[in-house]
Structure 1
């Protein structure tokens, strides 16, 4: 019999010992050591990295570039004239833009707190993607493809680098987009299962507490669970040795990670030790900003704890109507929390090696039939980065005078992914995984590193 197998008597004897959190910590360390050669183990970069981790602030629905970071005075001057699409009229922005910081980056008046950090931002005004439908564009944003199931960019980052904390997932999605095929946005697909996202909460229930189900066992002590797991894992390893089935390997990794997470994840998610000043910094003390503010604060705590890729979702940016009220509401909810995140990361020395990315699956059109909304626009829109080795206080690219399409410094989603991996020290052409007889990568056979934005 395999010496790693425990008898039922062993399990019961350990169960009676009354192990607590310290036992979890000790045995989690042993578990991490056993798992050191797995997919979450820290790996060498292809070349020196400027970013160790990513925080992606996903604005689901497509934020309007001409109401955020790409002012269009010509569009405003031609308000009401015929648009390019039949029965539409050009819609000028209702809000003013001002230049901020030494860099003079334009930020809409709806985001005064983010505007204070203009000199930290690298604004990409020439973004473009291939599809103007939400599910497909969101899938391409996350995985590089909308035609086939592919691993998420977070999964690729974990596959390429591993994680700095073996007791936490390498990829965490807070309030994920689970509708419209959203599970595929966070899947590891054919990569090892341990590279997929651990999902906390649900975007459809924004006010619900952010918890992970079944994180504790009310019936068994830590020692008893360890004994059960040792028995189960020994059988799983025997099965894997016979079949080489990657699903079994993924199951082994998932069980070990789940055990270790029981002690670590609740501690990192506990905000009770944060100061009043920190809660105020994120807007976590005010009803309008509390929900998103707490998510941003959690993102900082996960980044600090060694999680490789963290995503936060905010929704309702698909403003075909009620543009005025919708933009006012959305910006009020995210402005202070995001500004707080940038300031907090900077104060703690984390911003320099944390890549923060903000944006949605596409942008909005300059024309509209009702003059109170904007259609989809995948040909030219804005995103921004901060920290992690990108130029600070910098604008790259431009759309035409009305905002229909990128005309300079065009950055396709494949280019964005290639650049993100480059900042993490990974060559997007070398970061491959053989599946089904061919090598796959996040950028497929495309993508270029946007060297113009590298610091």
Structure 2
């Protein structure tokens, strides 16, 4: 070959190869500094049906199980050990501690606010010496897997707005829920099951009511609403074909309906029609996938025994924990499990023992089960309620009994799994368990951190509705970096 054939725009072969080598090094460095962009160039994408072609960040978690304890668990009787309350039991809550903070209507007209020490003993567990109540012996054994946030706080003081705030980012109903935002942004990793699934369990016959709007899509397209799974032979209502209708007949009906929708697209609007078609198609596929996913008949006895004696009883918290694991095992992105019965204004010592008996072993078993299957590495598990309980007794305080009112100023939640520090304690409260003294975490901060762990910038996932761009965290929220692994 002639020497000229090796010359490109004035560069000799040796110079060209040398400069190209330096360029490849730069590309490699760029891919390390910008991993999401680098992954995008490889063609890797997020789940199907999401508006984000790629997450904003490399996600630490692929899926979430949110164990919502409806009613507000009493942190002073579970995780936030306050020996001073026992020492001052029955004495008045100092005004210097309350600082004029508002009370609910159930406490505002009490003549006194007597401090109530816990009836239950605490011990320290794990490498960091986490204090855990005797009510939670199974949770105590896994504290080195858990990341405790002792300094949660909220603005809502009553159940409905408080739960709505946690689930939608607003105390007013009508906004999309967390799971709907995730479905909208990230789509689904399993086309045969909904990205957002909901399970309900009840312990107390008079638990605070839960409304379907808590897992609703709000103003987002309707295919992103949560799908509630129920105990019994029909886990999803109206999913099975009516008597006499074959699967082929259902298929033919859906195909014809899609043609009719296409003809009316210009008149009725494409987005909502596409949402309906998407829902119809999902329901058709779920006729096969749901019965398999919701059946625990093939679960070995040693697994069900690990979750406790109620794991074989449909509708219980333990049973639903098993189902939650089965759903994330099948790449369902967000599983919301609601458990009622934590609203203990009176008779707390008896009621909270019943609650813990129902929830302690299954919650711990879920963590251990996910870990032994290698799922905890990319599954985030969350445990917590809508607010905490007061350090004083609501109503009469006796040696045998007390109750606690709602308390939004501080409470405890825990997280485990993908992206959070195991065996870590974040935040502190004062000796009365009434105010936060270190590292406060607001509801919007919690939501921003949750979205970050799934690879989403909470400020960038928005939806334009009625002339304004909305997001889960409204105009607030900061990532709690200290809890991230």
Please indicate the TM-score interval, normalised by the length of the shorter structure.
Answer: 0.7 to 0.9
Pick the aligned partner of 2:445 from 411, 415, 439. 415
Pick the aligned partner of 2:215 from 186, 199, 203. 186
Q: Decide whether aligned partners of structure 1 residues 415 and 277 sit closer, same or farther in structure 2, where only a CA change above 3 A counts.
A: same
SS in 2 for 1:89: coil
In structure 2, how many angstroms separate the alpha carbons of the residues matched to 1:283 and 1:236? 49
In structure 1, how many angstroms separate the alpha carbons of the residues matched to 2:137 and 2:374? 24
The reply to whether residue 297 of structure 1 matches residue 297 of structure 2 is no
Shift of 1:100: 1.1
Pick the aligned partner of 1:319 from 335, 338, 344. 344
TM-score by length of 1: 0.87
Shift of 1:235: 1.1
In structure 2, how many angstroms separate the alpha carbons of the residues matched to 1:288 and 1:272? 12
Pick the aligned partner of 1:49 from 56, 59, 82. 59
Task: Report if the CA contact (8 A) 1:55-1:355 is conserved.
Answer: yes
Match of 1:269 in 2: 294
In structure 1, how many angstroms separate the alpha carbons of the residues matched to 2:350 and 2:311? 20
Pick the aligned partner of 1:141 from 155, 158, 166. 166
What is the 5 A alignment of 1:104-115? 104-115=129-140
Pick the aligned partner of 1:197 from 217, 226, 230. 226
Match of 2:276 in 1: 251
Q: Decide whether aligned partners of structure 1 residues 199 and 424 sit closer, same or farther in structure 2, where only a CA change above 3 A counts.
A: same
**1:251-284 deviation line (CA, Å, top 9, x unaligned):** 1111111111111011100110000001101115
Task: Report if the CA contact (8 A) 2:48-2:186 is conserved.
Answer: no
- Judge which range, 412-421 or 243-252, deviates more: 243-252
**1:340-396 deviation line (CA, Å, top 9, x unaligned):** 101000000111111100010000000013221001000100111001110100000
Shift of 1:241: 3.8
Match of 1:211 in 2: 235
Gaps of 5+ in 1: 1-35, 202-206
In structure 2, how many angstroms separate the alpha carbons of the residues matched to 1:169 and 1:141? 22
The reply to whether residue 370 of structure 1 matches residue 396 of structure 2 is yes
SS in 2 for 1:90: coil
The reply to whether residue 65 of structure 1 matches residue 75 of structure 2 is yes
Shift of 1:148: 4.4
Task: Report if the CA contact (8 A) 2:310-2:316 is conserved.
Answer: no
SS in 2 for 1:214: coil
Match of 1:152 in 2: 177
Gaps of 5+ in 2: 1-45, 95-107
Shift of 1:126: 0.5
SS in 2 for 1:147: coil
What is the 5 A alignment of 1:69-148? 69-84=79-94, 86-148=111-173
Task: Report if the CA contact (8 A) 1:42-1:163 is conserved.
Answer: no
Q: Decide whether aligned partners of structure 1 residues 289 and 340 sit closer, same or farther in structure 2, where only a CA change above 3 A counts.
A: farther
Q: Decide whether aligned partners of structure 1 residues 72 and 39 sit closer, same or farther in structure 2, where only a CA change above 3 A counts.
A: same
Q: Decide whether aligned partners of structure 1 residues 142 and 290 sit closer, same or farther in structure 2, where only a CA change above 3 A counts.
A: closer
In structure 2, how many angstroms separate the alpha carbons of the residues matched to 1:100 and 1:209? 42
Task: Report if the CA contact (8 A) 1:126-1:381 is conserved.
Answer: yes
Task: Report if the CA contact (8 A) 1:151-1:442 is conserved.
Answer: yes
**1:122-146 deviation line (CA, Å, top 9, x unaligned):** 1010001111100000000100101
TM-score by length of 2: 0.82
Task: Report if the CA contact (8 A) 1:47-1:425 is conserved.
Answer: yes
In structure 2, how many angstroms separate the alpha carbons of the residues matched to 1:431 and 1:286? 38
In structure 2, how many angstroms separate the alpha carbons of the residues matched to 1:181 and 1:333? 19
SS in 2 for 1:296: helix
Aligned length: 415
In structure 2, how many angstroms separate the alpha carbons of the residues matched to 1:210 and 1:357? 28
In structure 2, how many angstroms separate the alpha carbons of the residues matched to 1:186 and 1:219? 33
**1:209-240 deviation line (CA, Å, top 9, x unaligned):** 77222222132222221111000011113322
**1:163-193 deviation line (CA, Å, top 9, x unaligned):** 1101101111101799756222111111111
In structure 2, how many angstroms separate the alpha carbons of the residues matched to 1:89 and 1:83? 6
Shift of 1:444: 0.4
**1:20-55 deviation line (CA, Å, top 9, x unaligned):** xxxxxxxxxxxxxxxx99735884211101101110
Q: Decide whether aligned partners of structure 1 residues 249 and 176 sit closer, same or farther in structure 2, where only a CA change above 3 A counts.
A: farther
Computed over aligned residues only, the root mean square deviation of the Cα atoms, in angstroms, reads 2.2
In structure 2, how many angstroms separate the alpha carbons of the residues matched to 1:155 and 1:450? 22
- Judge which range, 333-342 or 401-410, deviates more: 401-410
Q: Decide whether aligned partners of structure 1 residues 209 and 370 sit closer, same or farther in structure 2, where only a CA change above 3 A counts.
A: farther
Q: Decide whether aligned partners of structure 1 residues 389 and 451 sit closer, same or farther in structure 2, where only a CA change above 3 A counts.
A: same
Q: Decide whether aligned partners of structure 1 residues 60 and 356 sit closer, same or farther in structure 2, where only a CA change above 3 A counts.
A: same
